Chain A
Amino acid sequence: MTLLLDVVTTAGVLFTVAMGLLVVFGVLKIINFAHGAFLTVGGYAALVTTKFGVSAWLAWPLAFASGGVLGVVVERLVVRPLYARPLDAILATWGLGIVISQVITLWFGREVQFAQSPLSGTVAILGDTYSLYRLTLLGVSVGLGLIFAGLIEGTRLGLAARAVIMNEDLARGLGIDTRRVRLLTFVIGCGLAALAGALITPLSSVDPNMGVPWLINAFMLVMVAGASFFSLALASLILGGAQVVVSTFVSPILGGMTIVLFAAVVLRLRPAGFGRD
């Protein structure tokens, strides 16, 4: 069933895109509104590999690294002064997003461009043919989710991050360097965003503002999901599925606002969203 595959692959893409935002929101308690711009950076990293004629698979590590490096600078200059002012952090990172997209425009031009996909063609599955790349993406999403869930549960940094999420004061009282935890978390979140950007470019195209619609959807998903990867996956599945269904059976334009509307209503009725209270 193509519809089912569409739902699942769309959910996977949404999940990948929103993961970086969730990581940052959970630990730093701020929303990185430059997330869309980091997505775009990753997309252009993929474009760069195409232009240089190297293997498209290299786009992935290149994107993650670019996002991470940029994230270090951003955390130091923009985010760190605003930990106590979360609403202002939204504004400042939004401004940052504007700056990044203008720089990209100045460098690469504003026209739509195309990056090469590392995989092309279709595969026969469940009686239909379906894009091989989309299916691979699904696998990558699940893989990334598992890797990061593993990191959070298994490593010391993950444990420290969880401690900071639960009770930062207590974490400090135990000797955890919360500033370092925040920096590392932010850098990883930005790297993830850029990686997601590289992953989604083969699905459509690259342009300086490609990140913005993804930002809004990712933002709503994170708000609804609370603080766990699992509820983010659940939210991606349910809301992403709703988007696909509406787009297919009603209209693609209304489908575009399904996630936003759905999320706003869910949050009004249950402020904790899909997460635990």
Chain B
Amino acid sequence: MVSSVMGAALLVATGPLILDTYSVSILVRAFLYALAALTVDVLWGYTGILTFGQAAYFGIGAYAAALIFTHVGFDWSTILLAAGLAIVAPALAGLVVGWLSFYPGSTPLYASVVSLAFPIVVTQMIFSGGTFSGSSSGLVGYEVFDLSIEAWFRIVGGVLLLAAGAAYMFVNSEMGRLLVAIRDNEMRCAYLGIDAPRVKILLTAALATIAGLAGFGYANFSGVVAPEIAGFVFGTELVIYVALGGRGTLVGPLAGTVLIDTASSYLSGDLPYVWQLIVGLVFIVVIVALPNGFTPLFSRLWRAIIGRRGRPRHLAVVLESPRMDAATTTATLEIVGVAKSFGSLKVLQDITLSVVDGELVSLVGPNGAGKTTLLRCISDGRERSSGTVRVNGEDIQGLPPNRVARLGLGRKFQTAAVFESLTVAECLRIAGVLRYRPSLTRPLHVLHLPEAARAVVETTGLVNVLSRQARLLPHGQKQALELAMVLALEPKIVLLDEPTAGLTSAERRRIGHILTELASRHRLAVILVEHDLDFVREISSRVVVLHQGRILLDGPVDEVVGSRLIRDIYAGSSHD
């Protein structure tokens, strides 16, 4: 990274000296496009939002300048007005597009659909503006800054470098890691209390502003604007540059845009169609065979040449001081008359139970009894068909999972839902964002963990692998990591779905001990769904038996476990 920055700075400083004017002006334009491509990379490469629409914000910024300079005039007040408009208009548009695209339950495909529709709408609006907006011929000849091309080169180059630097800082900051977490597992984020749609909407608006400013620069530099710069063809070109350069690398998209756009400018005179053809072919090959683009190839080559250099980050795990109200609040989960049906299929009927702090309740029953559905109804206020669920005194009616999580309820999934691309420490940090706002500039270097989470991290050996990527962890440690993440949320009620699935007997013993401690020492209310009845007998204080959607038994562990009923249900000898 450092070497590419130095190379780029060198180019910006000396470019005009070695290159001819034509090349310099091509590069200025390429730099402006690269700024827009940067925003595409942050949205797509890091946050997983495939967008064809950044061109529209670019166009809005450009037309803001062109329209004001054409129809109002060119002096300091109009310049400020145009600049302001180039910031505000894309931001507002970004908020609207974001609101349309990101909501609980939206799909990535729909977001891409909207991002495709938006530039079409913008270009059509420009077309319909008649002579005011220049329609299909665009606006030309308005007054602009009187700067030499060399000066433009240095200014735009410098801005691009600054933007790249800021982007680099941002994606490596805690907030940047949050974006990757959202991309990796948005559902896990929701159950950690994170309002992912809101993050995505704000991100879209912020990046729209940057694209808009790039467009503003373009309008000033080139002196002409045409509807194509707001169109989705340009938008897809930006995506192509990012894909070829390497999504999620920042450097890749920048280099890709500059190289390809510059080459296009040179070659479009001689063989425009062949060049487009080649770019198209390479694009297809990259998407199919080399999805991460060319940058990873180059960086591997580079590292092979200059020799590896690890950069271990120093991390301090800080034990958090207990919350002020930890001793006084009690955990309560009240479930009254909850039922869940899918059409005419009744999955749960008449479920009533209460759990308080210090209890370790196991929910058992054969497949199809409705156990996981019950967990869903407790953690997502929109799931159940009828009945009431109160988490720590609050009715969860209609609340999405992230709001329920904020009431003090944590849920651990059966399939070890962690953030595969993040390190163990980063996963834990993201789990704690409700309590500690993520930094927009600084990377993770101190990790605050509440006592329960820290206990899990230390006893399961996670403390030794804090810098390891979560996807490299063995299954048992992933389960432990997810549990620690849930505990980092500082819930008073914890729901666990088959926590022993796939664990070795040593790991099972450890988890059993941890769960018992959570209930007895940390005074949490622990509810687990489990099939391993030996495990259930060892650690539970209370057992609830679910069968065909109803509660059959609910009592202390000794009473329930020994009863004939459990054996009959599992052994199947009493089917009525």
By the criterion CB–CB under 8 Å, are B284 and A78 in contact? yes
Smallest Cβ distance from A275 to chain B, in angstroms? Answer: 14
Of the candidates B110, B239, B289, which one forms a contact with A267 in the assembled complex, judged by CB atoms under 8 Å apart? Answer: B110
By the criterion CB–CB under 8 Å, are A106 and B273 in contact? yes
Is A171 at the interface (CB under 8 A from chain B)?
no
Is B179 at the interface (CB under 8 A from chain A)?
no
What are the interface flags for B272-291 relative to A under an 8 Å C-beta threshold, 1 for contact and 0 otherwise?
01101101110110011101
By the criterion CB–CB under 8 Å, are A82 and B124 in contact? no
Is A234 at the interface (CB under 8 A from chain B)?
no
Chain B residues whose CB sits within 8 angstroms of the CB of A90 once the complex forms: 50, 112
By the criterion CB–CB under 8 Å, are B284 and A268 in contact? no
Is A92 at the interface (CB under 8 A from chain B)?
yes
Is B236 at the interface (CB under 8 A from chain A)?
yes
How far is B244's CA from A91's CA once the two chains are assembled, in angstroms? 12
By the criterion CB–CB under 8 Å, are B280 and A102 in contact? yes
Is A58 at the interface (CB under 8 A from chain B)?
no
Among listed B113-121, B213-221, B302-310, B439-447, interface-contacting one: B113-121
Among listed A41-49, A120-128, A149-157, A249-257, interface-contacting one: A249-257
Tell me the residues in window 32-58 of chain B with beta carbons closer than 8 Å to chain A beta carbons. Answer: 50
By the criterion CB–CB under 8 Å, are A78 and B277 in contact? no
Q: A98-B280, A251-B128, A256-B124 are in contact. Are A91 and B239 (CB under 8 A)?
A: yes
What are the interface flags for A218-259 relative to B under an 8 Å C-beta threshold, 1 for contact and 0 otherwise?
011001000000000000000000000000000101101100
Of the candidates A87, A102, A103, A257, which one forms a contact with B121 in the assembled complex, judged by CB atoms under 8 Å apart? Answer: A257
By the criterion CB–CB under 8 Å, are B284 and A253 in contact? no
What are the interface flags for A86-103 relative to B under an 8 Å C-beta threshold, 1 for contact and 0 otherwise?
111011101110110011
Is A184 at the interface (CB under 8 A from chain B)?
no
Chain B residues whose CB sits within 8 angstroms of the CB of A77 once the complex forms: 288
By the criterion CB–CB under 8 Å, are B100 and A268 in contact? yes
Smallest Cβ distance from A172 to chain B, in angstroms? Answer: 22
By the criterion CB–CB under 8 Å, are A253 and B128 in contact? yes
By the criterion CB–CB under 8 Å, are A223 and B280 in contact? no
Smallest Cβ distance from A170 to chain B, in angstroms? Answer: 18
Closest to B44 in A: A87
By the criterion CB–CB under 8 Å, are B128 and A254 in contact? yes
Is A105 at the interface (CB under 8 A from chain B)?
yes
Of the candidates B124, B128, B243, which one forms a contact with A91 in the assembled complex, judged by CB atoms under 8 Å apart? Answer: B243
Chain B residues whose CB sits within 8 angstroms of the CB of A216 once the complex forms: 116-117, 120, 232
Chain B residues whose CB sits within 8 angstroms of the CB of A256 once the complex forms: 124
How far is B284's CA from A182's CA once the two chains are assembled, in angstroms? 20
Of the candidates B117, B128, B273, which one forms a contact with A261 in the assembled complex, judged by CB atoms under 8 Å apart? Answer: B117
How far is B279's CA from A95's CA once the two chains are assembled, in angstroms? 8
Closest to A110 in B: B273
By the criterion CB–CB under 8 Å, are A267 and B121 in contact? no
Q: A91-B243, A95-B240 are in contact. Are A82 and B284 (CB under 8 A)?
A: no
What are the interface flags for A110-126 relative to B under an 8 Å C-beta threshold, 1 for contact and 0 otherwise?
10000000000000000
By the criterion CB–CB under 8 Å, are B287 and A91 in contact? yes
Smallest Cβ distance from B89 to chain A, in angstroms? Answer: 19
Smallest Cβ distance from A86 to chain B, in angstroms? Answer: 7
Is B170 at the interface (CB under 8 A from chain A)?
no
Smallest Cβ distance from A37 to chain B, in angstroms? Answer: 10
Tell me the residues in window 59-93 of chain A with beta carbons closer than 8 Å to chain B beta carbons. Answer: 77-78, 81-82, 85-88, 90-92
By the criterion CB–CB under 8 Å, are A264 and B284 in contact? no
How far is B384's CA from A83's CA once the two chains are assembled, in angstroms? 34
Tell me the residues in window 99-114 of chain B with beta carbons closer than 8 Å to chain A beta carbons. Answer: 100, 103, 105-110, 112-114
Tell me the residues in window 203-222 of chain A with beta carbons closer than 8 Å to chain B beta carbons. Answer: 212, 216, 219-220
Is A140 at the interface (CB under 8 A from chain B)?
no
Chain B residues whose CB sits within 8 angstroms of the CB of A110 once the complex forms: 273
How far is B113's CA from A103's CA once the two chains are assembled, in angstroms? 27
Of the candidates B103, B121, B243, which one forms a contact with A260 in the assembled complex, judged by CB atoms under 8 Å apart? Answer: B121
By the criterion CB–CB under 8 Å, are A264 and B113 in contact? yes
Smallest Cβ distance from A7 to chain B, in angstroms? Answer: 21
Say whether chain B's binding surface is mostly helix, strand, loop, or mixed: helix
Is A139 at the interface (CB under 8 A from chain B)?
no
Of the candidates B117, B120, B273, B284, which one forms a contact with A95 in the assembled complex, judged by CB atoms under 8 Å apart? Answer: B284
Is A271 at the interface (CB under 8 A from chain B)?
yes
Chain A residues whose CB sits within 8 angstroms of the CB of B289 once the complex forms: 81
Closest to A90 in B: B112
Chain A residues whose CB sits within 8 angstroms of the CB of B281 once the complex forms: 95, 99
Is B127 at the interface (CB under 8 A from chain A)?
yes
Q: A99-B280, A99-B281, A260-B121 are in contact. Are A253 and B127 (CB under 8 A)?
A: yes
How far is B287's CA from A211's CA once the two chains are assembled, in angstroms? 22
By the criterion CB–CB under 8 Å, are A102 and B273 in contact? yes
How far is B105's CA from A94's CA once the two chains are assembled, in angstroms? 27
Q: A256-B124, A260-B121, A264-B113 are in contact. Are A82 and B274 (CB under 8 A)?
A: no
By the criterion CB–CB under 8 Å, are A96 and B113 in contact? no
Tell me the residues in window 187-237 of chain B with beta carbons closer than 8 Å to chain A beta carbons. Answer: 232-233, 236
Of the candidates B108, B114, B117, which one forms a contact with A87 in the assembled complex, judged by CB atoms under 8 Å apart? Answer: B108
How far is B122's CA from A254's CA once the two chains are assembled, in angstroms? 11
Smallest Cβ distance from A114 to chain B, in angstroms? Answer: 21
Chain B residues whose CB sits within 8 angstroms of the CB of A87 once the complex forms: 50, 108-109, 112
Chain B residues whose CB sits within 8 angstroms of the CB of A94 once the complex forms: 236
By the criterion CB–CB under 8 Å, are A264 and B124 in contact? no
By the criterion CB–CB under 8 Å, are A267 and B280 in contact? no
By the criterion CB–CB under 8 Å, are A105 and B273 in contact? yes
By the criterion CB–CB under 8 Å, are A261 and B121 in contact? yes
By the criterion CB–CB under 8 Å, are A81 and B120 in contact? no
By the criterion CB–CB under 8 Å, are B113 and A267 in contact? yes
How far is B105's CA from A103's CA once the two chains are assembled, in angstroms? 41
Chain A residues whose CB sits within 8 angstroms of the CB of B110 once the complex forms: 223, 267-268, 271
By the criterion CB–CB under 8 Å, are A92 and B121 in contact? no
How far is B116's CA from A253's CA once the two chains are assembled, in angstroms? 18
How far is B280's CA from A102's CA once the two chains are assembled, in angstroms? 9
Smallest Cβ distance from B138 to chain A, in angstroms? Answer: 15
By the criterion CB–CB under 8 Å, are A264 and B117 in contact? yes
Chain B residues whose CB sits within 8 angstroms of the CB of A260 once the complex forms: 117, 120-121
Other than A78-B284, A102-B277, give 15 A-B pairs with Cβ distance below 8 A: A31-B109, A82-B288, A87-B50, A88-B287, A88-B288, A91-B243, A91-B287, A92-B283, A92-B288, A96-B284, A219-B116, A220-B117, A223-B109, A253-B124, A253-B128
Can you list 28 pairs linking A and B with CB atoms under 8 Å apart?
Answer: A77-B288, A81-B288, A82-B287, A82-B288, A86-B109, A87-B108, A88-B287, A92-B287, A94-B236, A95-B240, A95-B283, A95-B287, A96-B284, A98-B279, A99-B280, A102-B277, A106-B273, A106-B274, A212-B233, A223-B109, A223-B110, A223-B113, A257-B121, A260-B120, A260-B121, A261-B117, A261-B121, A268-B103
Interface positions of A (Cβ within 8 A of B): 31, 77-78, 81-82, 85-88, 90-92, 94-96, 98-99, 102-103, 105-106, 110, 212, 216, 219-220, 223, 251, 253-254, 256-257, 260-261, 263-264, 267-268, 271
A-B residue pairs, 9 tightest by C-beta: A98-B280, A102-B277, A95-B283, A99-B280, A253-B128, A257-B124, A92-B287, A95-B284, A260-B117
